[in-house]
């Protein structure tokens, strides 16, 4: 409803009406207070209240009648009356407390009733005090009645539309403000400045309604409007006409709904350029215009953000970062026949180089989108997708044209390296992320039944050699996937194998291994051993072996933990007092601590080469075919033998060829009382483990040790009825050839 907001949320910050300046034509009357100040021959300050008969009583002057005197005439009037008694004086008159009026607001007001208002109040002030007309009250024919006669009729639309308040009048006591019921309502919507529901007077025309609505907006379609009308309170009808003289003079009836149409937002001669460009905007279209007509030079493809980054001195992490996606740009176009939006891709780089097919001819309304190299790309009807971890893990899109093949998308190996920063995308896998040239896939959607088909092809044959069978002709929507050798492991003969050799070798480092090359052949090719090499103590580790060892170790520890828990439960059932129970719990916690330490043990992946101390030439190495990631370490020849575990003096002793294990044990002070001499063992320098018992042999019968060997005396376990499962726990390390790494854990137990 037009104008209703005027009476909603009326501000409460305005001063009351009795605090505003008194207008000159205000007529004073009974109840008003006069403030009189006289100086000169006499000096006096008076505050006099006008009596009901309209007079005031001035001391030494007498009764003076002031009722009906206008405020602007009040001062000369009093000066004349006082001048009849005194001479040579001046006076000043102002109004103090003003009289109150009682008026009535009736009819369709929001808050009808009797109101006591200031004598300065007018018709409009009082209507606001009453909350204005209700939703069913008229805003256009508000009447002020005095002594049974209509004094004035006020139209709030005059105040709202033109600021006209000329028919607003002052009130006197007993006035009645009557708000009649609302008149005819008409709605106007669409492209007018103030769409709303309006109250019209009888006989109003469409032109008057448009004037009330503030006229047409700039985007209004002035040639056509519709009018919905209820006829005889029975049916609804719609009429359409133009806003000519006849249309504007049409009479409007109550209940009519007028809708003014807007012109279409469609531009008849515009092209939109957006995205990774210097000046995205709407440009004028002309017949025969092509994509490259939108660009003056290549600088038009450099957005503002690039220069902001350059000016800030921001660095980049890649050696050759493209700022523009030269392979894929799009034109968004409305198909006028099907009324569907199409997205057609084109090759921006070829368009710049003058390719007529890619330098597409444009139509009015087209949207040309240019993308940065990292921007998300929309799906086009003529796209081809290329993906792979060596391309950064994302999908790259290219433009399909009739006759395109695999090699048109991937022209060469150098193109992959230069265009997609191949070395950057290899990441943490390093040398092992080489492209698998033997295998790639093409996923194709079959239009007949909308199923996807996987076509495998030889990438090397297609790209490196251009072989026709593998250089497959492409269809729109095809997805090409290329892989690294780590994603789909290739046969051993085709694997790229890198091996590290360290220690006492003539040329330590990381080398690429020839197909099928063995450890012996590899060492011979790379320079062989140094004179100080101790081949017997060499360590050969392999990643695939480490994985299997760790898996077996984890399973063994899991079984051990299960046995400990099961045997604890069984033993707990046989306890008969609290002390036995506490002792059993403490022992259980100790064994679980042992299991926890075993879990910390990590497999090394060492393979025992089964070398003999007497045969330490390069030719004695086994013909072990090398795998990617193998490591071969040759230490210098040691001069000591270690004694570890439950002995009085854990230490290393000088190696003597004639000494036996028992003699080294004696040098360490022998076993302490808790040592288990029935299960001693020697960890050989070549990774083997030899178990022996000192009680069953003399010094002569004890095993012989070699430089770098370690004699180990384990702790004796205290047995419960389930200790048998824990007795052979040292065998876990033996089974997985953990060597000295296992000894470090054993030493801490």
Euclidean distance between CA atoms 20 and 40, whole angstroms: 31
Domains in the chain, please, with CATH?
4-11+100-179 (3.10.560.10), 23-95 (3.30.1950.10), 184-262 (3.10.560.10), 270-484 (no CATH), 552-748 (3.10.560.10)
3-state SS of 35-71 is EEEEEECCCEEEEEECCCCCEEEECCCEEEECCCCEH
Strand positions, DSSP E, 108-232: 113-118, 142-146, 149-154, 176-179, 184-190, 196-200, 220-231
* Confidence at residue 576, expressed as pLDDT on a 0 to 100 scale: 65
- Only one residue has tokens 């808050």, namely 111
Per-residue pLDDT at 553 exceeds 60: yes
* Confidence at residue 420, expressed as pLDDT on a 0 to 100 scale: 62
Band (pLDDT 50/70/90 cuts) for residue 9 is: low
Band (pLDDT 50/70/90 cuts) for residue 339 is: confident
pLDDT digits (tens, 9 = 90+) for 343-400: 999 999 999 999 999 999 999 999 999 999 888 999 999 999 998 877 777 788 999 9
For a pLDDT cut of 90, what percent of the chain falls above it? 38
Q: Which of 542, 605, 594, 574 is nearest to 738 (CA)?
A: 605
* Confidence at residue 18, expressed as pLDDT on a 0 to 100 scale: 57
Which run of H or of E encompasses 682?
A: strand 680-683
Euclidean distance between CA atoms 522 and 512, whole angstroms: 10
For a pLDDT cut of 70, what percent of the chain falls above it? 89
Q: Are 521 and 511 in contact (CB under 8 A)?
A: no
Q: Are 718 and 553 in contact (CB under 8 A)?
A: no
Q: Where are the alpha helices (DSSP H) in 467-600?
A: 519-525, 543-572, 578-599
pLDDT digits (tens, 9 = 90+) for 27-49: 888 888 889 999 988 888 999 88
Euclidean distance between CA atoms 45 and 59, whole angstroms: 11
Q: Which residues pair with 107 in a beta bridge?
A: 179
456 or 701: which leads in pLDDT? 456
- Only one residue has tokens 């095809």, namely 478
111 or 485: which leads in pLDDT? 111
Q: Is 732 helix (H, G, I), strand (E, B) or coil?
A: helix
Band (pLDDT 50/70/90 cuts) for residue 424 is: low
14-18, 494-498, 598-602, 700-704, range with the lowest pLDDT: 14-18
Mean pLDDT over 531-556 rounds to: 89
pTM of the model: 0.58
Q: Where are the alpha helices (DSSP H) in 618-736?
A: 661-667, 724-727, 731-735
Band (pLDDT 50/70/90 cuts) for residue 237 is: very high
Per-residue pLDDT at 437 exceeds 70: yes
Band (pLDDT 50/70/90 cuts) for residue 419 is: low
pLDDT digits (tens, 9 = 90+) for 62-104: 899 988 888 889 989 998 888 888 888 899 998 888 888 889 9
Q: Which of 162, 146, 138, 143 is nearest to 154 (CA)?
A: 143
Average pLDDT, the chain: 84
The listed range with the strongest mean pLDDT (118-122, 523-527, 568-572) is 523-527
* Confidence at residue 488, expressed as pLDDT on a 0 to 100 scale: 65
3-state helix, strand, coil in the chain (%, to 5): 25, 30, 45
- Only one residue has tokens 């002031």, namely 66
581 or 720: which leads in pLDDT? 581
Cα–Cα distances in angstroms (integers) from residue 704 to residues 282, 608, 684, 707, in the given order: 92, 19, 10, 10
Band (pLDDT 50/70/90 cuts) for residue 319 is: low
* Confidence at residue 222, expressed as pLDDT on a 0 to 100 scale: 78
């Amino acid at each position: 409803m037009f104008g209703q907001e005027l009476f909603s949320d009326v501000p409460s910050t305005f001063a009351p009406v009795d605090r505003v300046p008194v207008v000159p034509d205000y007529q004073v009357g009974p109840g008003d207070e006069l403030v009189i100040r006289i100086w000169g021959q006499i000096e006096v300050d008076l505050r006099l209240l006008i009596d009901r008969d309209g007079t005031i009583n001035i001391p030494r002057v007498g009764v003076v009648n002031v009722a009906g005197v206008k405020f602007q005439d009040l001062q000369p009037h009093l000066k004349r009356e006082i001048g009849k008694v005194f001479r040579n004086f001046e006076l000043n008159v102002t109004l103090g407390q003003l009289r109150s009026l009682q008026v009535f607001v009736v009819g369709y007001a929001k808050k009808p009733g009797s109101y006591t208002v200031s004598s300065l109040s007018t018709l409009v002030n009082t209507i606001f005090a009453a909350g204005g007309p209700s939703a069913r009250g008229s805003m256009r024919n508000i009447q002020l009645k005095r002594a049974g006669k209509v004094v004035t009729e006020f139209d709030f639309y005059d105040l709202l539309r033109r600021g006209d308040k000329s028919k607003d009048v002052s009130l006197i006591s007993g006035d009645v403000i009557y708000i009649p019921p609302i008149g005819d309502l008409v709605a106007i919507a669409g492209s007018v400045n103030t769409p709303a529901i309006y109250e019209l007077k009888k006989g109003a025309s469409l032109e008057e309604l448009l004037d009330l609505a503030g006229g047409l907006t700039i985007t209004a379609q002035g040639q056509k409007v519709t009018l919905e009308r209820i006829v005889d309170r029975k049916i609804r009808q719609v009429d359409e006409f133009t806003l000519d003289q006849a249309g504007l003079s049409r009479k409007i009836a109550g209940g009519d709904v007028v809708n003014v149409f807007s012109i279409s937002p469609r531009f008849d001669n515009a092209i939109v350029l957006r995205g990774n460009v210097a000046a995205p905007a709407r440009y004028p279209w002309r017949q025969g215009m092509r994509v490259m007509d939108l660009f003056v030079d290549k600088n038009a493809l450099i957005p503002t953000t690039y220069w902001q980054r350059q000016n800030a001195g921001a660095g980049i992490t890649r050696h050759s970062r493209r700022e523009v996606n030269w392979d894929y740009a799009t034109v968004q176009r409305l198909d006028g026949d099907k009324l569907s939006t199409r997205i057609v891709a084109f090759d921006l780089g070829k368009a710049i180089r003058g390719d007529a097919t890619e330098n597409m001819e444009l139509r009015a309304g087209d949207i040309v989108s240019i993308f940065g190299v990292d921007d998300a790309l929309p799906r086009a009807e003529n796209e081809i997708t290329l993906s792979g971890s060596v391309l950064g893990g994302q999908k790259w899109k290219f433009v399909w044209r009739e006759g395109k093949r695999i090699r048109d998308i991937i022209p060469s190996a150098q193109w992959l390296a230069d265009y997609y920063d191949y070395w950057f995308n290899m990441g943490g896998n390093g040398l092992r992320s080489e492209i698998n040239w033997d295998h790639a896939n093409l996923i194709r959607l079959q239009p007949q039944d909308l199923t996807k088909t996987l076509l495998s092809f030889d990438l090397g044959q297609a790209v490196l050699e251009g072989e026709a069978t593998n250089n497959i002709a492409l269809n729109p929507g095809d997805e090409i996937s290329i892989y690294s050798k780590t994603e789909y492991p290739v046969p051993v003969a085709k694997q790229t194998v890198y091996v590290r050799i360290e220690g006492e070798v003539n040329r330590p480092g990381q080398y690429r291994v020839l197909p099928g090359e063995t450890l012996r052949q590899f060492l011979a090719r790379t320079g062989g051993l140094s004179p100080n090499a101790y081949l017997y103590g060499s360590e050969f580790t392999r990643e695939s072996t480490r994985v299997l060892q760790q898996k077996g170790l984890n399973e063994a520890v899991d079984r051990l933990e299960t046995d400990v828990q099961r045997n604890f439960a069984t033993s707990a059932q046989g306890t008969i007092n609290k002390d036995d129970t506490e002792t059993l719990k403490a022992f259980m916690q100790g064994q679980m601590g042992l299991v926890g330490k075993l879990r910390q043990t990590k497999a090394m992946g060492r393979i025992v080469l089964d070398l003999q101390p007497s045969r330490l030439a390069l030719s004695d190495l086994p013909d072990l075919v090398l795998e990617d990631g193998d490591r071969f370490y040759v230490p210098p020849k040691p001069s000591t033998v270690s004694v570890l575990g439950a002995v009085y003096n854990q230490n290393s002793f000088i190696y003597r060829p004639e000494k036996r294990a028992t003699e080294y044990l004696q040098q360490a002070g022998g076993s302490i009382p808790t040592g288990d001499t029935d299960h001693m063992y020697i960890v050989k320098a070549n990774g083997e483990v030899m178990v022996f018992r000192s009680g069953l042999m003399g010094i002569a019968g004890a095993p012989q040790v070699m430089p770098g060997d370690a004699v180990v005396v384990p702790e004796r376990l205290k047995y419960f009825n389930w200790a048998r499962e824990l007795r052979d726990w040292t065998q876990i390390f033996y089974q997985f050839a953990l060597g000295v790494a296992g000894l470090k854990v054993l030493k801490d137990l």
